Amino acid sequence: MIVVAAIAIVVVWRLPRADEIKLPRSENSRDTSAGATPPGGGVGSTSGAPMQPEVVRPVAMILRELRDSYDAVNSVAARVRLQGELTPRWESAPPSASEVLAEIGRRDAPPDYRVYLAQTFRNLAKLRRVDAGRIAEVAAGLVRILSDDSEPAVLRGRLAVVLAAIDQGSPAVQSMGRLLTQPADDAAMLAVTALRHAATDEAAELLHGYLRANPRERQTKPRTTGAALVALTGYGKLEVTPIAVALLMETQSPELIQATLASAGKLPTSLVLIQALVELHAQPERVPAIPPELLRAGVERALKPHATFVRSAPAVSGMDESLMERARAILERNSSRP
């Protein structure tokens, strides 16, 4: 009996505790300690399937969908997404000049799409992602579009603004200048913007020639005329004052009068300019579309930069003292305004 009890005690003592029991390993119970990777690829994985490589869509497909998005209704979000997809692709692998011009020159494409692609190429040029040869080719293609009267005038004006950023050579500037004679005021004004951005002597001469040679159009295209006058103000190499004086004395367009007054304060001081401002201040009814007091206030602001000349008039020989007295009265009126 004593021997049996001793054997029983030994058997019980050698039984493994619960925390010592180890189950057989299986495929679904792999050890993940000490940095081991669990099935399916690690944290956040929901499947044991291998990750698929990202699908890179052809640029032609992106362009087609982007082109369609300009005609679709409620497609702004899709258009922004596609633009965000196209830009890095073109930045990493810039398109050839022929690829760019093929899309910009598509007559069946929406004008906004054509302008957007031209702007995107301009940005690539600014970032120096494209070489000079490619830029020259695209610029030449844009010049051809600008010279094609069958293309919409406003589209050509918008492309002219893009062209001015990448090419300021004579053929490009001349193509912008030809758009000044477009009948539509908004299209011609875009040409002024392009020539101003070109910022060359040739561009300034084209603007000056337009203002001098087209007195009728100065009235029929007030936005273009006003923009051209403002662009030339302060240029210094060309005489603009006679044109501004003629506009102050002749025009009844409120837009053109306001643009002329905005430029008058920046023009060189002269007796004829002061006389034109004084006469307009005395006869605000010549521009019935602008309330008299509002027009007078504009004249006073335009005259203020010439105050030193006006106040020193008695010391200058040959000066019309009566005119100077009227001009001084206008300046006093302006100083008394709140």
Domain assignment present for 123: no
- Domain range for 317: 239-338
Q: Provide the pLDDT confidence category of residue 290 given band limits of 50, 70 and 90.
A: very high
**pLDDT tens figures, 90-120:** 999 999 999 999 999 999 999 999 999 999 9
**Stretch 310-338: mean pLDDT, rounded?**
76
Q: Does position 256 have pLDDT exceeding 80, yes or no?
A: yes
Q: Is residue 290 one of the residues assigned to a domain?
A: yes
Choose the weakest-confidence range: 4-13, 196-205, 299-308.
Answer: 4-13
pLDDT band, residue 264 (cuts 50/70/90): very high
According to DSSP, residue 300 is labeled: H
Q: What is the mean pLDDT of the chain?
A: 85
Q: Alpha-carbon distance 72 to 83, whole Å?
A: 15
In a domain, 106, yes or no: no
Q: What's residue 30's pLDDT?
A: 47
User: pTM higher than 0.85, yes or no?
Assistant: no
Neighbours of 81 (CB within 10 A): 14
Cα–Cα distance, 183 to 115 (Å, whole number): 21
pLDDT digits (tens, 9 = 90+) for 48-92: 556 655 667 899 999 999 999 998 877 899 999 999 999 999 999
DSSP assignment of 115-173 equals HHHHHHHHHHHHTT-S-HHHHHHHHHHHHHHHT-TTS-HHHHHHHHHHHHHH--SHHHH
Inform me whether the pLDDT recorded for 43 exceeds 50.
Answer: no
Report whether 66 contacts 113 (CB < 8 A). yes
pLDDT exceeding 70 applies to what percent of the chain? Answer: 80
**82 lies in some domain:** no
Tokens matching residue 41: 């690829």
Nearest to 300 by CA among 271, 324, 325, 274: 274
Residue 42 lies inside a defined structural domain of this protein:
no
3-state secondary structure 307-334: HHHHHCHHHCCCCCHHHHHHHHHHHHHH
Least reliable range by pLDDT among 21-25, 131-135, 208-212: 21-25
What's the Cα-to-Cα distance from 156 to each of 108, 141, 170, 253, rounded to whole Å? 15, 12, 17, 26
Distances (CA, A) of 286 to 48, 272, 276: 83, 19, 13
Instruction: Give CA–CA dist 1/21, Å, rounded.
Output: 32
What residues contact residue 327 under an 8 Å CB cut-off, 6+ apart? 274, 277, 278, 303, 310, 313
Q: What is the pLDDT of residue 47?
A: 52
Q: Is residue 136 included in any domain, yes or no?
A: no
Does residue 51 form part of some domain? no
Contact criterion met (CB below 8 Å) for 146 and 179: yes
Burial class (CB in 10 A: 0-12, 13-18, 19+), 51: exposed
Q: How many domains does the chain have?
A: 1
